[in-house]
Amino acid sequence: MKTKIAIIGAGPSGLLLGQLLHKAGIDNVVIERRSAKYVLGRIRAGILEYGFVDLMREAGVHTRMDAEGLRHDGFEIAIGEDRTRIDLHGLTAGKSVLVYGQTEVTRDLMEARIGAGLPTHYECEVIELRGLNTGKPTVVFRSDHEDCVLECDYIAGCDGFHGVSRRSIPGDTLREHEKVYPFGWLGLLSDTRPASDELIYNKSDRGFALCSMRSESRSRHYLQVPLSEKVEDWSDDRFWDELKARVPADVASTLETGPSLEKSIAPLRSFVAEPLQYGRLFLAGDAGHIVPPTGAKGLNLAASDISTLFTLLVSIYEQGRTDLIERYSETCLRRIWKAERFSWWMTTMLHHLDGTDIDRKLIDAELDYYLNSEAGLTTIAENYVGLPFDRLE
Ligand code: FAS
Ligand code: PHB
């Protein structure tokens, strides 16, 4: 089996890259260890930066996103009863974000790939990458208990945090930077009216809560919980009661509750692997970095990686250039670290953290400054809508 680009992982990173390459006429194969149904069943991100939206349009998979996505020109930060709106549109000369679930992004990309008749090997696990420093690397994957070999020119490691790609970079080359937060997010998905027209990030004495949505009739809410918590200990009623206790009274008084469609606890970490490339292997998306979801950056960082990798591969195949290859990692990392910073900042500012009294006073003072100054609000807004994608040259 041969192709130009072997893509490991059929999450948003792998599928978006595959679609962009297909439109550019660059042959590619996607290998995914789970079933398509399983991949679609994972409930994750909900906010798309304008850069992600533009990339979906470039990939030609924007019709449903444009029809069903909800443009949001702002969001709120509530400190107890004190609500501040971050006017994204006004503070960023007209930029906004789009509420459109990662599940829908993945569905659109899957359908486009099926429609184009492109090869996607589901329920096939990549077990080894070979020849990364040769001109003909190979991907070994298991299919129906048989080992199969895919020859290619380049490998896109889009296989997420627990994938095989990052582990294929030698230990004396790879540097991993990690910060694990001492709490998780308990998320609940329900067919209930959203708590408000826009997202509300709530800082309360009982802990952080986020009121988000997937549509005007489907909500996604989160509660900060200790890492020791088990999802089975959280009945729907307990979740709703705790959410009401963490949001402003007027939000709680009109909050529509209902049965959960999904409930899960996700740990929070900041993680960056360097470099994001090794020989003919390029890491993109969660394979190379993880952010705490407080800044809504996880999925969106995957988009900027994919944009850079796609631009690089086009320069190789359409212009015969190889001089840009060694710039991939440094180009991606510049934007990644700035998104890591913003995600860490939002997490540190808004969550209930252990620490001394003065630690909490200093954080409260910083948040008070940011929420009451044009410069502070602008900083939050331009990071939230997404910083510009960095260019390879
Ligand atoms: P993914 O992990 O989505 O996809 C990688 C794919 O590779 C998977 O399908 C996996 O099965 C496959 N794979 C792994 N190893 C393989 C192998 N050896 N062979 C073949 N295939 C292999 N981001 C936000 O912006 N907001 C959020 O609220 C948010 N919430 C999240 C909640 C959770 C529980 C998690 C885990 C992540 C969340 N994220 C959120 C981040 C998330 O959206 C990621 O950024 C996004 O899924 C990144 O997409 P990919 O890079 O494609 O990685
Ligand atoms: C979500 O809707 O899942 C969501 C929105 C914003 C975040 C994190 C998660 O910061």
The answer to whether 195 and 156 are in contact (CB under 8 A) is no
Phi-psi region of 145 (alpha: psi -120 to 50; beta: other; left: phi over 0): left
Nearest CA to ligand 1 atom 13: 159
pLDDT tens digits for range 133-146: 999 999 999 999 99
Half-sphere CA count of 28, side-chain side, radius 13 A: 31
Annotation says 194 is catalytic: no
Contact 284, 17 (CB under 8 A): yes
The string of DSSP letters for 207-242 reads EEEEEEESSSS-EEEEEEEETT--GGG--HHHHHHH
Strand arrangement of the beta sheet that strand 138-143 belongs to: 125-130, 138-143, 146-151
321: buried, middle or exposed (CB in 10 Å: 19+, 13-18, 0-12)?
middle
**370 is annotated as an active-site residue:** no
Query: Any catalytic annotation for residue 38?
Result: no
Quote the ligand 2 centre to 24 CA distance (angstroms): 32
pLDDT digits (tens, 9 = 90+) for 17-72: 999 999 999 999 999 999 999 999 998 999 999 999 999 999 999 999 999 999 99
Closest residue by Cα to residue 157 from 178, 172, 139: 139
Q: pLDDT digit string (tens) for 145-154?
A: 999 999 999 9
What span, in angstroms and rounded, lies between the C-alpha atoms of 252 and 80? Answer: 12
> Which pLDDT score, from 0 to 100, does residue 7 have?
98
CA gap 91, 376 in Å, rounded: 10
Question: Which pLDDT score is estimated for 195?
Answer: 98
The pLDDT score that the predictor gives to residue 52 is 97
pLDDT bracket for residue 167 (50, 70, 90): very high
Q: What is the pLDDT of residues 207-241, one digit of tens each?
A: 999 999 999 999 999 999 999 999 999 999 999 99
* The pair of three-digit structure tokens given for residue 165, joined into one six-digit string: 């790609």
pLDDT at 355 over 90: no
Task: Give the end-to-end CA distance of the chain in Å, rounded to a whole number.
Answer: 34
Give the mean model confidence (pLDDT) for residues 344-351: 98
- Average pLDDT of the chain is 97
Q: Are 9 and 287 in contact (CB under 8 A)?
A: yes
Identified catalytic residue from 297, 317, 328, 370: 297
- pLDDT band at 354; cut points 50, 70, 90: confident
pLDDT tier, 388 (very low <50, low <70, confident <90, very high otherwise): very high
Distance CA 391, CA 281 (A): 20
Distance 290 CA to ligand 1 centre (A): 9
Coil vs helix vs strand at 97: strand
Active-site hit among 293, 317, 328, 370: 293
- Beta carbon of 31 within 6 Å of any ligand 1 atom: yes
Q: What's the pLDDT tens digit per position in 170-200?
A: 999 999 999 999 999 999 999 999 999 999 9
Integer Cα distance of 267 and 62 in angstroms: 31
- pLDDT tens digits, residue range 126-135? 999 999 999 9
Residue type, 151: E
What is the rounded CA–CA span in Å between residue 33 and residue 8?
9
Pairwise CA distance, residues 309 & 302, whole Å: 10
Pairing state of beta strands 154-157 and 175-190?
unpaired
- Please give the Cα distance from 67 to 280 (Å, whole number): 39
Residue 100, pLDDT score:
97
Span 73-124, pLDDT tens digits: 999 999 999 999 999 999 999 999 999 999 999 999 999 999 999 999 999 9
45 CB near ligand 2 (under 6 Å):
yes
Ligand nearest to the CA of 300: 1
**Buried/exposed code over 132-145 (b: 16+ C-beta within 10 A; e: otherwise):** beeeebbbebbeee
* 361 class by beta-carbon count within 10 Å (0-12 exposed, 13-18 middle, 19+ buried): exposed
Contact in structure between 309 and 212 (CB atoms under 8 Å): no
Atom of ligand 1 nearest to the CA of 264: 34
Rounded Cα distance between 259 and 282, Å, is 42
